[in-house]
Amino acid sequence: MNITVPKGLKKDEMYGYIKKELSKAAGEGGDDCAFLANSSAILNLFLQDINWCGFYLWKKGRLVLGPFQGKPAQTEIDAGQGVCGTAAVTGAVQRVDDVHACTNHIACDLASRSEIVIPLKKGDIFLGVLDIDSPIKSRFDEMDERGLTEAGVLITGYLLAEKTFFQD
């Protein structure tokens, strides 16, 4: 796997590349952990102006830190706690323009200013979240939400086929 990021990509083109690289990563073998580690690396390569990018996985009713890029982060998040825990209980994408104005935000990196959390779910099955932080206020727009939701669908499909992470 040798990924180069073309210069001057428009946002919709960038999400096309991200989905293509995630699909390739899904075909590379390994297990859930290997795939999620490479997925966080792919997202981190393509997305500009971010300072944390990774996964929390739903285990025994709480979110547990998974593969990520960025500073060390809180290892467990209860249902309903923080932006990630809110995504877990609502099943809805959380797009926070200014985390300083969000009372239910867990600061893992003080540089973070905006955040997007994508639930990884299919029907009633909830596997965890994709969490991305940016040091820039209002970094994530509707196009990011759409592109990352599509990336989340792809990642969820792989995890459901693989399942090894979710065996207790």
Nearer to ligand SME (CB atom), residue 32 or residue 115: 115
Residue among 62, 133, 58 nearest 100 (CA): 133
Residues forming a β-bridge with 59: 62
Nearer to ligand SME (CB atom), residue 26 or residue 128: 128
Give the residue nearest to ligand SME (CB): 82
CB atoms under 10 Å from CB of 28, counted, come to: 10
53 DSSP assignment = E
Asked if 82 is part of the footprint of ligand SME (rule: CB under 6 A), the reply reads: yes
- Which region among 9-17, 27-35, 102-110, 137-145 touches ligand SME (by CB under 6 A)? 102-110
Asked if 133 is part of the footprint of ligand SME (rule: CB under 6 A), the reply reads: yes
Residues near 134 by beta carbon (within 8 Å), at least 6 away in sequence? 49, 50, 51, 112, 113, 114, 115, 140
Q: Which residues bind ligand SME (CB under 6 A)?
A: 52, 73-74, 77, 82-85, 105-106, 108, 112, 115, 131, 133
